[in-house]
């Protein structure tokens, strides 16, 4: 995942670093009275990036630094100031990289703004590695968008049984398959699972989840096609209670956020079964619309976490960043294929560290 | 489709209103707005950069023909470039045919298969569907249920795991005029499944291979389309789920990547929710019909003024006299290249030799033709050795020059004939302009 983005980030980092080094050299040359001990440090490129965040400047200069200020800064503090115009080219490179990775417009803007603010106008003490400054600016920006993440097993352990997890999303994103994968993942961790066939609308949907249940050896509660989905899911919860089952996974029919009656139906399901966790499912190949629909789902029925499917189709995975940015909810899993094992818990810290680690 | 591109463009074009010279700042603003709208609609980033560069370059560098305002000039360029993006009109034939459905997992292939089956059935054709999805649980039940609803034949076997075998049997079994093969979802990186669809395409001798794409598809669209196209030569794209809020720009990138067009649009979960797509009226609406109409009128006016019989030229009756008039008109309207560029020719190529003739040469040609008789001008076929000699003498030109002129004439004639024959040819465009005026 994020391979292309990783390459892009690497080249942007390199470029920023060169720019900043050159600028420093320029400043050094202009100020003749500058003490000579501040020789340029060796390139930090070969070193591994510092994993700890940098100490934040207490007062950040947001205005374009004037010449006088530069002089003062250089002579007195042995620092130099990164000017916005010097990094614009690199930032526009980063922008294209993000857009090409399907990071939506709004999220791209947010990341760029954050990196720009972090880098420009800030005084950098000579001696801190340039690479660390850049890496940390990027890392902060990405983490601020991706959030902390959640551990599903810890979450389940903290709740009363049966823990009810409801899957929602638009048509064809992979809800049903994801229900099967998550069921498989949880049973692999020693938990018991029952599934509710909540898609009573689409032709063949009940059979689809039923076959998955059969293959995984799990109970699938089902009603007739066309019946009320809240009733099936309610029955599933009752079944789980009666059989002391740890977790209920509720499948639902796909629906578009602009269909009021269908969204009301989902709201009803929510009222009836009171889920512990609403998992919103969307696909990695979705473009800018991912943001719009995530926001709408979040507003009308709510969501607690996101599962991103079909990452095998689009390893760039920018939709993960878009959705997380739009709704501020953690990504819990990614789906990477059509098999039951094609599922991975999503850990933002590890992903971002990997994104910014060493060479592309 | 394409979201607020229309509003953005109209606003941006307003800034050019009343201007006689192209305003660089206004063009740059327009291009920026265009970029933003296209990117937000998920058109491929590289394609957007290319398209906006072309529009900017052409707007600033190409001389607007006389009498055409700056705004009309830019509008015309935007129109032409959007035609590239949206693709040509796809005519769905109502005869015997086999259609192979292709696409990513969950894109809407099965639902669309049923919608198309219903479409052909309503047109009075006998339709049969083969379920070649041997992977997704419930796939056969899904398509069978839908086929039963519209009462068309459905062949499949949920126990069989080999799609090729089912298709072979289905082809034998079904005797219907229209056969639609619904396939399992696959993507560019799944080599075995790509091979499967190559095999299915060969086995079925499919008349059409339609790529079904979700309107929300983002930057991946182009790469996915490229792979499908490479495998089975996609000849049409169907955009599904247009009833949501997605803008379909990814699917459009797939259209230009495959050089095909949009066949249908899916806009709902039920079987009736299938729509036509007419690229012309789509773009016209996007840009504002009035503008296009005005432009078309202007073009016709300038042509009439200079007395060039476009229709005669296109019908292949292009004589030396026509060429003479044309060369005369060049003085008034600017180079032929631009006269032709007034017409949205889509992706059609006009040979460079046909338009890259210097004005000096044009003038020489005119003088030579002044020495020709009416018979020669109207029927160039009579030109023989002795006539050529006489003309050269009369015009004070060399034999070489006269022969060169005849060669140029023949090439022009061929060009106009080709234009006429071309699928997205000038004739069609003239017809369209006729419709507007
Ligand atoms: N390649 C790939 N296909 C997937 C993934 N998740 C689901 N699918 C496929 O996408 C299609 C739609 O999935 P489904 O679960 O039925 O979607 P739903 O309509 O949201 O329930 C099916 O063909 C699935 O096999 C994934 O992570 N990778
Ligand atoms: N709203 C809407 N849903 C659609 C449309 N086309 C397909 N779908 C839904 O998208 C999901 C996947 O469709 P399906 O035909 O099973 O896709 P396939 O995996 O490509 O065969 C289903 O829930 C369909 O009902 C459409 O045009 N509009
Ligand atoms: Mg489903
Ligand atoms: Mg299908």
Query: Among A111-125, A193-207, B51-65, which is the least confidently predicted range?
Result: A111-125
Work out the pLDDT band at B128, boundaries 50, 70, 90: very high
Instruction: Write out chain A residues lying below 8 Å of B137, CB-based.
Output: 207-212
- Domain holding B19, by residue range, is 3-85
Instruction: Measure A318 CA to ligand 2 centroid, in angstroms.
Output: 23
Instruction: With cut-offs at 50, 70 and 90, classify the pLDDT of residue A122.
Output: low
In this complex, is the C-beta atom of B220 within 8 Å of any C-beta atom belonging to chain A?
A: yes
Q: Do B217 and A287 touch (CB under 8 A)?
A: yes
Q: Which is more confidently placed, B31 or A249?
A: A249
- Residue B343 lies inside a defined structural domain of this protein: yes
Shared-domain flag, residues B268 and B318: no
* Residue B72 shares a structural domain with residue B124: no
Q: Stretch A317-330: mean pLDDT, rounded?
A: 86
- Ligand 1 close to Cβ of residue A123 (< 6 A): no
What residues 111-140 of chain B have any CB closer than 8 A to a CB of chain A? 135-140
Residue B249 has pLDDT above 60, yes or no: yes
Domain co-membership, B275 together with B296: no
For residue B401, give the nearest of B371, B425, B379, B430 by alpha carbon.
B371
Whether B262 is in a domain gets the answer: yes
Same domain, B135 and B280: yes
Q: Which of B259, B286, B313 is the last residue of a domain?
A: B286
Report chain A residues whose CB lies below 8 A from the CB of B220: 102, 285, 313-314, 316
Residue B189 with chain A: CB contacts under 8 Å = 312-313
Asked if B42 lies within 8 A of A293 by C-beta distance, the reply is no
Q: Rounded to whole angstroms, how far apart are CA atoms B286 and B85?
A: 13
Q: What are phi and psi of B430, to 5 degrees?
A: -65, -40
Q: Whose CA is nearest to atom 19 of ligand 1?
A: A172
Structure tokens at B17: 């209103």
Q: Which residues of B touch A286 (CB under 8 A)?
A: 214, 216-218, 246
* Cα of A312 to nearest chain B Cα, Å: 8
| Residue A258 to chain B, least CA–CA distance (Å) | 7
List of chain B residues whose C-beta atoms are within 8 Å of the C-beta of residue A102: 218-220
Return the CATH number at B203: 3.40.50.300
pLDDT in the model for residue A318:
81
Q: Is the C-beta atom of A339 inside 6 A of ligand 1?
A: no
Q: Give pLDDT tens digits for B356-414.
A: 566 677 778 888 988 898 889 888 889 898 999 999 988 888 999 899 888 888 877 77
Do B208 and B302 belong together in one domain?
no
Average pLDDT over residues A310-319: 83
Q: How confident is the model at residue A139 (pLDDT cuts 50, 70, 90)?
A: confident
A241 has pLDDT over 70? yes
Of all protein residues, the one whose alpha carbon is nearest to atom 13 of ligand 1 is A174
Please state the length of chain A: 360
How many C-beta neighbours within 10 Å does residue A357 have? 14
Task: Please report the beta strands in A226-271, taking only residues with DSSP state E, as ranges in sequence order.
Answer: 247-250
pTM: 0.75
Q: Are residues B204 and B157 in the same domain?
A: yes
Q: What is the share, in percent, of chain A residues with pLDDT greater than 90?
A: 48
> Pick from B286, B309, B341: which residue ends a domain?
B286
| Ligand 2 centroid – CA B91 distance (Å) | 24
Residue A329 Cα, gap to closest chain B Cα (Å): 21
Q: Which ligand is nearest the CA of A174, by number?
A: 1
> Has residue B12 been placed in a domain?
yes
Any atom of ligand 1 within 6 Å of the Cβ of A254: yes
The answer, for A8 touching chain B at a CB cutoff of 8 Å, is no
CA of A169 to the centre of ligand 3 (A): 9
Domains and CATH numbers, chain A: 3-31+66-146 (1.20.120.140), 152-355 (3.40.50.300)
> Average of pLDDT values for B1-13?
72
Q: Is the pLDDT reported for residue B73 higher than 60?
A: yes
Q: Are strands A305-309 and A277-283 parallel, antiparallel or unpaired?
A: parallel
**Residue B263 tokens, joined:** 């066949």
**Interchain proximity A258–B214, CB inside 8 Å:** no
Within-domain flag for B182: yes
What is the rounded CA–CA span in Å between residue A304 and residue A293? 15
Question: Between B122 and A135, where is the model more confident?
Answer: B122
Of residues B224, B196, B135, the one with CA closest to residue A339: B135
Lookup result for tokens 């806009």: B267
State how far the Cα of B4 lies from the Cα of B9, in Å rounded to an integer. 9
Q: Ligand 1 mean position to B87 CA, how many Å?
A: 29
Q: B128 and B57, same structural domain?
A: no
What is the CA(A209)–ligand 3 centre distance, in A?
8
State in Å: Cα B242 to ligand 3 middle.
19
Across B222-304, the runs of DSSP E, i.e. the strands, are 236-240, 262-266, 274-275
Statement to judge: residues B376 and B354 lie in one domain: yes
Any domain includes B220: yes
Interchain contact A171–B (C-beta under 8 A): yes
Query: Going by C-beta distance under 8 Å and a sequence separation of 6 or more, which residues neighbour residue A238?
Result: none
Question: What pLDDT shows up at residue B357?
Answer: 60
B269 → closest Cβ in A101, A171, A209:
A171
Cβ contact (<8 Å) for A286 and B215? no
Contact B245 A207 (CB under 8 A): no
How many A from CA of B149 to the centre of ligand 2? 16
Which residues are CB-neighbours of B128 under 8 A, at least 6 positions away? B152, B153, B154, B155, B170, B174, B175, B176, B178, B179, B180
B168 and B278 inside one domain:
yes
What gap in Å lies between CA A307 and CA A277, rounded to an integer? 12
For ligand 1, atom 11, name the residue with the nearest CA: B106
The pLDDT score that the predictor gives to residue B240 is: 96
CA–CA gap between residue A142 and residue B305 (Å, rounded): 63
Last residue of a domain, one of B286, B305, B323: B286
**B247 and B113, same structural domain?**
yes
A159-163, A355-359, B163-167, B294-298: the lowest-pLDDT one: B294-298
For residues B280 and B147, state if they share a domain: yes
Task: Find the B158 Cα to ligand 4 centroid distance in Å.
Answer: 13
Verify whether the Cβ–Cβ distance A310 to B250 is below 8 Å.
no
B90 in a domain, yes or no?
A: no
Hey, which of A166-180, A326-340, B57-71 has the most confident mean pLDDT?
A166-180
Dihedral of alpha carbons A237, A240, A244, A245, sign: negative
B309 domain-assigned: yes
Q: In the numeric block, which tokens belong to residue B141?
A: 């039940």
Strand order in the sheet with B274-275: B153-155, B127-132, B178-183, B97-103, B208-214, B236-240, B262-266, B274-275
- pLDDT band, residue B311 (cuts 50/70/90): low
Shared domain check, B115 and B70? no
Nearest Cα of chain A lies from the Cα of B97 at a distance, in angstroms, of: 27
Q: Which residues contact B414 (CB under 8 A, 6 or more apart)?
A: none
Q: Is B375 a member of any domain?
A: yes
Give B269's contacts in chain A (Cβ within 8 Å).
171, 201-202
For the cut 90, the answer to whether the pLDDT of residue A302 exceeds it is yes
Nearest CA, atom 12, ligand 1: B106
Name the average pLDDT for chain B: 82
Residue whose CA lies nearest to ligand 2 atom number 11: A172
Pick A6 or A125 by higher pLDDT.
Answer: A6
A253, closest residue in chain B (CA to CA)? B269
Q: Please tell me the total count of domains within chain B.
A: 3
Cβ of A205 under 8 Å from any chain B Cβ?
A: yes
Name the closest residue on chain A to residue B184, using Cα atoms.
A338
What is the domain-level CATH number for residue B389? Answer: 1.10.260.30
Considering only A111-120, B136-145, B235-244, which range has the smallest mean pLDDT? A111-120
| B402/A contact by beta carbon, under 8 A | no
Is residue B334 over pLDDT 90? no
Query: Taking CA atoms, what residue in A is nearest to B187?
Result: A313
Could you tell me if A292 and B245 are in contact, meaning their C-beta atoms sit under 8 angstroms apart? yes
Cis peptide preceding A162, ω within 30 of 0: yes
Considering every ligand atom shown, identify the ligand nearest to the alpha carbon of residue A199 and give its number: 3
């Amino acid at each position: 995942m994020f391979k292309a983005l990783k390459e892009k980030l690497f080249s942007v980092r390199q470029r920023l670093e060169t720019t900043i080094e050159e600028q420093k050299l320029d400043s050094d040359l202009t100020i003749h009275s500058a003490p000579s001990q501040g020789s340029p440090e060796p390139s930090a490129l070969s070193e591994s990036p510092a994993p700890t965040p940098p100490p934040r400047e207490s007062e950040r200069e947001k205005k374009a630094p004037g010449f006088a200020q530069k002089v003062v800064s250089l002579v007195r503090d042995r620092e130099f100031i990164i000017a916005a115009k010097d990094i614009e080219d690199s930032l526009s490179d980063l922008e294209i990289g993000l857009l090409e990775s399907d990071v939506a417009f709004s999220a791209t803007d947010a990341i760029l703004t954050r990196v720009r603010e972090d880098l420009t106008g800030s005084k950098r003490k000579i001696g801190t590695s340039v690479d660390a400054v850049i890496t940390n600016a990027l890392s902060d920006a990405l983490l601020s968008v991706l959030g902390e993440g959640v551990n599903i097993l810890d979450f389940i352990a903290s709740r009363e049984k049966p823990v009810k997890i409801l899957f929602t999303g638009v048509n064809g994103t992979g809800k049903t398959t994801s229900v099967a994968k998550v069921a498989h993942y949880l049973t692999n961790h020693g938990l018991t699972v029952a599934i509710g066939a909540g898609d009573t609308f689409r032709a063949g949907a009940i059979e689809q989840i039923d076959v998955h249940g059969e293959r995984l050896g799990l109970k699938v509660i089902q009603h007739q096609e066309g019946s009320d989905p809240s009733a099936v899911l309610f029955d599933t919860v009752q079944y789980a209670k009666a059989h002391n089952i740890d977790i209920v996974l509720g499948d639902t029919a796909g629906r578009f956020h602009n269909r009021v009656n269908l969204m009301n139906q989902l709201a009803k399901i929510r009222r009836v079964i009171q889920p512990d966790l609403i998992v919103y499912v969307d696909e990695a190949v979705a473009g800018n619309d991912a943001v719009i629909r995530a926001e709408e789902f979040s507003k009308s029925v709510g969501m607690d976490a996101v599962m991103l499917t079909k990452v095998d189709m689009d390893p760039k995975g920018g939709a993960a960043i878009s959705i997380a940015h739009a709704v501020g909810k953690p990504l819990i899993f990614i789906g990477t294929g059509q098999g039951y094992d094609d599922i991975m818990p999503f850990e933002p810290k590890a992903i971002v560290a990997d994104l910014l680690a060493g060479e592309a | 489709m394409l979201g607020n591109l229309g509003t953005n463009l109209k606003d941006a074009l307003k800034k050019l209103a009343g201007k006689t010279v192209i305003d660089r700042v206004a063009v740059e603003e327009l291009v920026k707005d265009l970029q933003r709208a296209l990117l937000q609609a998920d058109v491929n980033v590289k394609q957007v950069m290319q398209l906006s560069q072309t529009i900017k370059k052409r707007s600033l560098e190409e001389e607007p023909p006389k009498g055409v305002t700056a705004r009309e000039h830019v509008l015309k360029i935007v129109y032409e470039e959007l035609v590239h993006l949206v693709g040509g009109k796809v005519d769905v034939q109502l005869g015997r045919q086999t259609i192979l459905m292709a696409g990513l997992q969950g894109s809407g292939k099965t639902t669309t298969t049923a919608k198309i089956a219903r479409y052909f059935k309503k047109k009075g054709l006998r339709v049969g569907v083969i379920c070649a999805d041997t992977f997704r649980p419930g796939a056969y039940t899904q398509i069978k249920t839908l086929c039963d609803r519209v009462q068309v034949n459905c062949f499949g076997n949920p126990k069989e795991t080999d799609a090729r075998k089912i298709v072979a049997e289905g082809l034998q079994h079904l005797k219907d005029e229209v056969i639609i093969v619904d396939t399992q979802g696959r993507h560019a990186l799944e080599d075995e499944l790509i091979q499967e669809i190559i095999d299915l395409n060969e086995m079925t001798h499919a008349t059409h291979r339609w790529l079904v794409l979700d309107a929300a598809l983002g930057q991946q669209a182009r790469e996915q389309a490229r792979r499908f196209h490479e495998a089975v030569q996609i000849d049409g794209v169907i955009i599904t789920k247009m009833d949501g809020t997605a803008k379909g720009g990814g699917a459009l990138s797939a259209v230009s990547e495959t050089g095909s067009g949009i066949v249908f649009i899916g806009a709902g979960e039920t079987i009736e929710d299938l729509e036509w797509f007419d690229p012309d009226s789509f773009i016209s609406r996007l840009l504002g019909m009035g503008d296009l109409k005005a432009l078309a009128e202007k073009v016709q006016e300038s042509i009439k003024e200079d007395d060039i019989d476009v229709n005669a030229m296109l019908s292949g009756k292009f004589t030396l006299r026509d060429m003479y008039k044309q060369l005369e008109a060049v003085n008034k309207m600017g180079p032929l290249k631009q006269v032709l560029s007034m017409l949205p020719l889509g992706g059609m190529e006009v040979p460079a030799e046909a338009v890259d003739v210097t004005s000096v040469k044009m003038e020489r040609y005119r003088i030579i033709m002044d020495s020709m008789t009416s018979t020669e001008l109207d029927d160039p076929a009579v030109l023989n050795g002795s006539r050529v000699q006489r003309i050269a003498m009369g015009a004070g030109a060399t034999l070489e020059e006269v022969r060169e002129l005849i060669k140029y004439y023949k090439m022009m004639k061929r060009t106009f004939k080709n234009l006429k024959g071309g699928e997205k040819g000038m004739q069609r465009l003239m017809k369209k302009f006729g419709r507007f005026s």
